[in-house]
Amino acid sequence: MGKALSQRHPRQQGRLSLLTASLLLASAVYAQEVAYTLDIPAQALDQALNALAGQTGRRILFATDIAEGHSAPALHGSLTVEQALQRLLGGSNLAMRKTDDGSYVVFAQAAGEAMGLDVMTVVDNQLGTITETSKSYTPGTIATATRLVLSPRETPQTVTVVTRQHMDDFNLTNIDEVLQHAPGVTVGGLDSERSQYYSRGFPITNFQYDGIPMMRNAAYSSGNTLSDMAIYDRIEVLKGATGLVTGAGGAGATLNFVRKKPTYEFQAHITGEAGSWDNYRTEWDVSGSLNASGSVRGRAVAAYQDKKSFQDHYDRNTSVYYGILEMDLTSETLLTLGFDYQDNKPKGSSWGGVPIFDSKGDEVSVSRSFNPGADWSRWEQYTRTFFTQLEHNFSNGWVGRGQYNYQVNGYDAKLGSMLSSPDVDNGYRTSLTAGQYRGDTVNHAIEVYASGPFQWLGREHELVVGASAYRTHWKGKSYYGYSAENGGLVENFYRADGNIPEPDWGAISARQDELTNQRALYFTARFRPTDDLALILGGRVTDYHLSRDSHARDSGKVVPFAGITYDLNDTWSLYASYTSIFLPNSYKDSSGSLLEPDEGDSYEAGIKGEWFKGRLNASLAYFEIREDDRPEWAGYDYETNQDVYEGLKAKTKGIEAEISGELAPGWNIQAGYTYKTIRRDDDNKKITTEEPEHLFKVYTTYRLPGRLNQFTVGGGATYQGTTWMEVSNPAKDYAAEQYHQEAYWLVNLMGRYQVTENLSTTLNINNLFDKYYYTNIGFYSTKAYGEPRNMMLTTRWDF
């Protein structure tokens, strides 16, 4: 079909199909992308490309041999040429670029090769860019903020995306490690099994999976913060209040876990890893079509990790399984079914950290390897998820999508740790704090929405309308009326080695039963009054009902959203956005009554830049958040055995700068700086001081050119400003005093050698200079050390 190109290098010889038999030559340059009504059946890729050229009149060039063996899905409806090519090439090792004369070139991507700056990436229509084939540190498009599929520059909020390439380069295998690299996010470890994430001074409590919100049980930690990354394509962090897409939610950020998708072409990889403190891991990932036409595609992922720790008598086993199936029911209808499963089984779990003060008020000094937990102490957590999606493309360019998620997050904990201050006058005697807790949170979430273009006043605009329903049921049992040998006394805190008798747990001390229901209707409209101006208006009407042990109801709560972007030129855009805050909570005041929902307003404005057709993105934002009923800890009620909170007015202000993407061919970067401060309105006192006011992160990799292109080198650093907390000092009748952690830097390095086209080995070194730092200060007046210098060697085989 094609004509052979002459004067080509012998290694690049191949016939190039000019498609002259099937295309109509278009004008050399198009002023703007035009949507075409397409009707192309599922068939071989070369035939599909010919058909696309014929129906659009656009010039599409490709070497015939690279298209052999590839199949393409059906295309029906209104699409631009770029959108159509992205779908036809989805899941393959082929990429495309647009030339100066308006033609499109399709070419094969060599294994491990960095993509050129002008290469288009593969797009999933409703969730945004699939990043695992892009080799990039920035997404092409995202849908987290508004349900509209937009580029970062078009989105009037700050969105951070940690891509598959970034995770692979730095061996980020769990969500803690990913967020340690994410600009603007602080990770705190409460103990060996629980983490807390902060953004803009607020705990991150909003979790989404493929855009579907799920409730997180933060207090009892039911697997969310131990999520393994083997099954995810990317993690998106939408900064600020996100009530438009989450309903009830916090003002700091929302995490969206976007799962890997099946591919049309067969692909697979196996990894084997070994690292410090007997840390071993393996991962298997297989994907491809399950029939000749490619209308049924599947993917299976499994990972297992046996990890010991720098802390004495601690280890954790993690098992992960994931399966997903895509079926083209018709040329316009896609059905997805899938599940994921994760077990986390630790031994020697700590509960909190090491006491900060002894009985005399002197600071407790122990090595980083000291583990205050008993050797039998464990905090097992698990996750079970089933999900399904049905998507239909209509002939008018609209897309309808229905999603259902069923998720069980559970915990089974027998905990024992030395939280009490060592008694100096009695040989540093201390006591065991213990408890047994069992329970699970069952989530049901269903969401149905439609999106597409509409015409008004002679211009095309976009609209999303949807409805959702979420049901979350938490049931738990607590055992804290235990009896322990010798009253749980430990004769010498400093000589304890975890060999402490396990208590007799006795009968159930308390039961927990909370049922949360949310229902909502929402819409988002993106108006384009001019080519340079876009106005996004949206709203969500939510009914919220908390019942069983606690009671709260809010019906017809309206959460508005407004955003605007204005293109100054081809590179820079100004933007601004506003939304309100709505976060019901289960915190109680001194009288035992629930606090009022945390409500207020969230503002953001800034400038965004985009270079190399979206391969490099940058943003600078100012944000301000005003709260009317922010819950703040006010003490502990020993009669009811509960924490006591108060609601107060507060204001958060800050700036955030980020850059992500490809600075030059083979040179990736992700970096960001955040400054923020939060003050009470009544006395201007700073709050949420466990998160730093200044936070800077930068991570970069570079593939060496020429004969050294088998080597990729990289590294990164995190700077965290001073933090402090008020802690109880037993020498001062447990009065509160400030305990500080000074500012510190952490530096990491990585290097990869591409041994063959399919085999690579990567070395990652974390905390290169072996910095001493804490992941927590103040949680029950304890402190927890961060990891010393460690390394991991990964070998990967791609099929």
Q: Summarize pLDDT for 697-708 with one digit per residue, the tens.
A: 999 999 999 899
| pLDDT band, residue 91 (cuts 50/70/90) | low
Is residue 266 a contact partner of residue 600, using CB atoms and an 8 Å limit?
no
Structure tokens at 428: 């540093």
Q: Which residues pair with 392 in a beta bridge?
A: 333, 400
CA dist., res. 228 & res. 211, Å (int) = 18
Q: What is the 3-state secondary structure (H, E, C) of 282-297?
A: EEEEEEEECCCCCCEE
- β-pairing, 123-124 vs 128-129, is antiparallel
Residue that is last in its domain, among 84, 108, 132: 108
Q: Could you give the number of structural domains in the chain?
A: 2
N-terminal to C-terminal alpha carbon distance within the chain: 30
Is residue 551 a contact partner of residue 594, using CB atoms and an 8 Å limit?
yes
Is residue 338 a contact partner of residue 386, using CB atoms and an 8 Å limit?
yes
CA dist., res. 717 & res. 671, Å (int) = 9
Structure tokens at 566: 């204005």
Q: Which residues pair with 389 in a beta bridge?
A: 336, 403
Describe the strand order of the beta sheet including 354-355 as a list of residue ranges. Answer: 354-355, 782-785, 774-777
Q: What is the 3-state secondary structure (H, E, C) of 625-673?
A: EEEEEEEEEEEEECCCCEEEEEEEEEEEEEEEEEEEEEEECCEEEEEEE
Q: Tens digit of pLDDT for each residue in 296-329?
A: 999 999 999 999 999 999 999 999 999 999 999 9
Q: What is the mean pLDDT of residues 715-730?
A: 93
pLDDT at 33 over 80: no
Structure tokens at 689: 């001081």
User: Which pLDDT score, from 0 to 100, does residue 109 have?
Assistant: 65
Per the domain annotation, does 575 fall within a domain? Answer: yes
Q: Tens digit of pLDDT for each residue in 123-170?
A: 444 777 888 888 899 988 888 888 888 999 999 999 999 999 999 999
pLDDT at 548 over 70: yes
CA dist., res. 290 & res. 296, Å (int) = 5
Crossing angle, helix 81-88 and helix 45-56, to 10 degrees?
170
Q: What is the mean pLDDT of residues 213-222?
A: 76
* Residue range of the domain that includes 376: 264-798
Residue 280 burial (CB count, 10 A): 14
Residues 6+ apart with CB under 8 A from 491: 427, 429
| pLDDT band, residue 477 (cuts 50/70/90) | very high
Per the domain annotation, does 121 fall within a domain? Answer: no
Burial group, residue 630, by CB count within 10 angstroms (0-12, 13-18, 19+): buried
Q: Count helices and strands (H / E) in the chain.
A: 6, 48
Range in 81-95, 330-344, 754-768 the model is least confident about: 81-95
Nearest to 586 by CA among 219, 77, 190, 126: 219
790 versus 28: the higher-pLDDT residue is: 790
Is residue 667 a contact partner of residue 136, using CB atoms and an 8 Å limit?
no
pLDDT, mean over the chain: 87
Per the domain annotation, does 157 fall within a domain? Answer: no
Per the domain annotation, does 727 fall within a domain? Answer: yes
- β-pairing, 253-259 vs 206-209, is parallel
Is residue 556 a contact partner of residue 541, using CB atoms and an 8 Å limit?
yes
User: Which pLDDT score, from 0 to 100, does residue 228 have?
Assistant: 96
Per the domain annotation, does 222 fall within a domain? Answer: no
Describe the strand order of the beta sheet including 202-203 as a list of residue ranges. Answer: 185-189, 195-199, 202-203
Nearest to 673 by CA among 687, 650, 692, 686: 692
659 versus 119: the higher-pLDDT residue is: 659
Nearest to 679 by CA among 751, 639, 627: 627
Residue that the structure tokens 């009470």 belong to: 680
601 versus 106: the higher-pLDDT residue is: 601
Residue that is last in its domain, among 79, 108, 137: 108
Size of the chain in residues:
799
Highest mean pLDDT pick, 192-206, 587-601, 665-679:
665-679
* Percent of the chain predicted with pLDDT > 70: 92
Residue that is last in its domain, among 108, 138, 173: 108
Residue that the structure tokens 């599922």 belong to: 42
Q: What is the mean pLDDT of residues 768-780?
A: 93
Residue 685 burial (CB count, 10 A): 12
Residue that the structure tokens 């061996």 belong to: 171
Per the domain annotation, does 185 fall within a domain? Answer: no
Task: Name the DSSP class of 504.
Answer: B
Per the domain annotation, does 777 fall within a domain? Answer: yes
Per the domain annotation, does 218 fall within a domain? Answer: no
Range in 74-88, 139-153, 157-171, 433-447 the model is least confident about: 74-88
pLDDT at 28 over 60: no
User: Which pLDDT score, from 0 to 100, does residue 110 have?
Assistant: 53
Q: Which residues pair with 698 in a beta bridge?
A: 671, 717
CATH number at residue 95: 3.55.50.30
| pLDDT band, residue 111 (cuts 50/70/90) | very low
pTM here?
A: 0.85
Cα angle 671, 672, 673; round to 5:
145
pLDDT at 13 over 70: no
Q: What is the mean pLDDT of residues 420-424?
A: 94
pLDDT at 560 over 90: yes
Residues 6+ apart with CB under 8 A from 158: 184, 238, 239, 240, 604, 606, 619, 621, 623, 656, 658
Cα angle 355, 375, 436; round to 5:
80
Range in 112-126, 173-187, 217-231, 295-309 the model is least confident about: 112-126
Cα angle 93, 96, 102; round to 5:
170
Range in 510-514, 607-611, 645-649 the model is least confident about: 645-649
User: Which pLDDT score, from 0 to 100, does residue 241 have?
Assistant: 87
- β-pairing, 711-720 vs 744-754, is antiparallel
Q: What is the mean pLDDT of residues 674-683?
A: 92
CATH number at residue 618: 2.40.170.20
pLDDT at 44 over 90: no
pLDDT at 258 over 50: yes
Residue that the structure tokens 């009896």 belong to: 483
Nearest to 223 by CA among 185, 253, 193: 193
Q: What is the mean pLDDT of residues 110-120?
A: 42
